[in-house]
A and B are shown apart, each in its own frame.
Chain A
């Protein structure tokens, strides 16, 4: 997405940021992104815990769901999954 350009008269005072970074697609950085093999997943949540980018949504019960729009493809979740349920796929 492109950053909105606002003039000095409209931009909020004190340089307070006015957008959430969730609007910023860091997933575009990734060359590889994870894919969970649901049958291997034991729902331990470690992929959720260790992701530096808060990519996984996990309700504590099911298989965590990645928000790939923000995944930078670092591979930590792949390396830390105890059952090797995650693999990196070229995007």
Chain B
């Protein structure tokens, strides 16, 4: 059973803690307004004790450790693109064995009492890394895997991934004369993860910071593998204004493009604004409000492409209904 946390994030306490130690330093080279910059800070804010951070290849990895600089004041390791969950498996196995035998018990320079967090992008999670994640979850390693989903391979220049939504323009799904953006829908990553029957999985939008940080804390506390699907606005890849990053994170929830929920031992529960939308469907905003802030969907607003918005809306409605059923509405 995942421990049901009673911990509620208090913004003042979190700020005071960051004054003392800054797990993620300024001076990283994420783009201005990058949503991932907010997510990594919130992960660190949710920590209940020391953490060890394993990062898959991608924007965050590249931007935070450009040699000779590092933005990390927590132990941090990056190996490759597709294997962060496997690396974390090894770290966890080592910590288990070394703690069991009291290896560093008398060494004041070493600490073994830490939680492990893994951060991977949508490319590293939906696509190339899915095997190592599945393996690690089957083996029940205790770590929290956070997917920051900016819905494309951003680090290599905005190519589509399994997480790219329908219609979106990327450099490998350009808006051409015949095919306009991505013709396929987003892979249901949460369903795939939940099928592993891990103790805790949740979606977060950093705009709802208290919901996000509380869930991240539950992920740290889970008695086994935990998975957090974090919505990550990417101004560069999405063609959105940098100042709209948090606004888009909010709209994604309000339009049910990215509903907020958690799955504790296979039991679904809606959280935050998704509850009020479930109770009062009139609150569900049309997806246009979300789409129109992003250049990657601009072509869909041409009259001849309106069918794309309808198709997208239809798909979102179905996903939402399915979620409502699972969450007992």
Contacts and interface: CB of A to CB of B under 8 A. Distances in A.
Interface string B238-282: 000111111100000000000000000000000000000000000
Contacts of B67: 15, 17
Interface string A18-40: 11111111100110000000000
B105 interface: no
Nearest to B10: A60
B15 A53 contact: no
Contact of B19 (A6, A49, A59, A69): A59
Nearest to B36: A52
Contact of A61 (B12, B33, B235): B12
Interface in B15-43: 15-16, 18-19, 22, 24-38, 41
23 contacts: A17-B69, A17-B70, A20-B25, A20-B69, A21-B66, A23-B27, A24-B27, A25-B27, A26-B29, A44-B11, A48-B15, A49-B11, A53-B28, A53-B37, A54-B25, A59-B15, A73-B32, A74-B235, A74-B242, A75-B33, A75-B241, A76-B243, A76-B245
Nearest to B70: A17
Interface in A1-23: 3-4, 6, 15, 17-23
A4 B69 CA distance: 11
B243 A19 contact: no
Q: Interface range on chain B: under 10, 10 to 19, 20 to 34, or 35 or more? A: 35 or more
A21 B32 contact: no
B68 interface: yes
A71 to B, nearest CB: 9
Contacts of B31: 72
Given A24-B69, A45-B11, A78 B30 contact: no
Most buried by A among B33, B70, B235, B245: B33
Given A3-B68, A21-B70, A59-B16, A79 B25 contact: no
A30 B243 CA distance: 13
